[in-house]
Structure 1
Amino acid sequence: MQEIAEAKSLTLADVAIRLTGRTLLAVSATILPGEVLTIMGPSGSGKSTLLAFAGGFLDPAFEVSGRILVGAEDLTQVPANRRHAGILFQDPMLFPHLSVGGNIAFAIPPAVKGHKARRALAEAALEEVGLGGFFDRDPETLSGGQKARVALQRLLVSAPRFLLLDEPFSKLDAALRQQTRELVFSKAKAAGLPTILVTHDSADAQAAGGRVIEVGSEEEA
């Protein structure tokens, strides 16, 4: 997993996103290693679109200006597969044809050679979140909270440079939601990863503990 010493800040430099001539949002911010920036607003306010821009997979129907940088490196024109963004969505999106451990091993960088070494790393990642011994389990046998933990560890073993969180807690029940929030934010901080969270839930923003930028309005949703 990524070491804190490797972490760099993430900067959204004068980013503006438009659709059919209407500006959805305009954001400028620098997110320090281990910091969470929350973008909060209703559906249709451009929150997920901002993550798509940061991740490098923005639909060409949108117009965008501004830049995204990691440290001093400009990623604006860098393909998505070379940005090393770690992304969590509302659904865990585990691969059904792979075991629980296989899902995590899939994300381990190619620099880790050999089946034994890759399995050991995946097993250690599962152990970290209370899922020791789950390597050979079918993902469909897991609870919602367990799937969320596997998705998080799969993301972290991929050695991301920054995290993009697209309402990843919204489909969990109240108790699991708080537990998963704490896990995700503590892991991001420990790894020194700058993080952007988009949500419409003020409890998510409070748990994140960082700056909040509000976009859109209920009338615009």
Structure 2
Amino acid sequence: MLVIENCRLTWPDFEADYSLSVKTGTLCAVIGPSGGGKTTLLHMVAGFERPEGGTLSFNGQNLLPLEPAKRPAAIVFQDHNLFPHLSVAENVALGLRPSLRLSADEKLLVGDMLDAVGLAGFDDRKPGEMSGGQRQRVALARALISGRPLILLDEPFSSLDPSLRRDMILLVDELRRKRPVTIVMTIHTPEDVADVADQMAFVASGRVVASGRPADILNSTLAPRIAAAVSDS
């Protein structure tokens, strides 16, 4: 289980204090208004932001002393963060070995992962030769191939059209059911993930205001605030 308890972060113009629990193997969708602290929450779990207090653990392991590279988490950003001079296969292989010195078995694993995300045969292409949805599949493959059990997705599909965005969410759900991973995903269109996520958390003003089953959150007294958050995104 991912357990966040009273993790506090402060800046001159913003203050956050997060508490949230996510069961291992589930998909938790994080929703809320722009600027409310969704991305900061993921960055804190990944280790890019350091809380001033509180506890943060995953499957019983204290994450706070660990640098980002040592944490059991992989993160996919909205802009996918691919290297334009590397091929698709090389970008994915970075999740295995930053040196790109792969064994024969590891090269086969890269091919298998590309097949899993629907990109078989795209090995030698460069990111600039691909669509936005295809690039996000590459970024997802790189995160999954790392073998890290916690995958953080920071609004990775917000730039895609509704149909493709839904396809990518379904792909994420399919992949996480085949692999023992926990996924925490920020998203500004909760309707796209309501029937897929196991859990939904509403974050605003640097706090987890509510967390529970998606249907319960979307049909709660928070509904007007959620609708306003969606319209502002």
TM-score w.r.t. length of structure 2: 0.79
Shift of 1:105: 1.4
CA contact (8 A) 1:25 1:215 kept: no
Which residue number corresponds to residue 46 of structure 2?
A: 55
Distance 1:157 1:77, change over 3 A: same
Counterpart of 1:80 in structure 2 is 68
1:162 to 150, 153, 159: 150
Is the alpha carbon distance of 1:113 and 1:138 closer, same or farther for their aligned partners in structure 2, counting shifts above 3 Å? closer
Contact 2:169-2:193 at 8 Å conserved across structures: no
Identical-residue share of aligned pairs (%): 33
From 49, 54, 65, the equivalent of 1:66 is 54
Q: Helix, strand or coil for the counterpart of 1:18?
A: strand
Deviation at 1:190, TM superposition (A): 2.3
Q: Using the alignment, how far apart are the partners of 2:39 and 2:104 within structure 1?
A: 38
- How many residues align structurally? 208
Quote the residue 2:12 is aligned against. Answer: 20
Q: CA RMSD in A?
A: 2.5
Q: Deviations over 1:99-149 (max 9, x none)?
A: 111111121158x97442222111111122222221111221111121111
Unpaired segments ≥5 residues, structure 1: 1-8
3-state secondary structure, aligned to 2:3: strand
CA distance in 2 between counterparts of 1:215 and 1:152 reads 24
CA distance in 2, matches of 1:165, 1:114: 26
User: In 2, Cα distance between the equivalents of 1:203 and 1:91?
Assistant: 22
Rounded to whole Å, the distance in 2 between the matches of 1:32 and 1:109 is 29
Bigger RCO of structures 1 and 2 (CA < 8 A, at least 6 apart): 1
**1:21 shift after superposition:** 8.0
| Secondary structure in 2 matching 1:206 | coil
The answer for unaligned runs of 5 or more in structure 2 is: 206-224
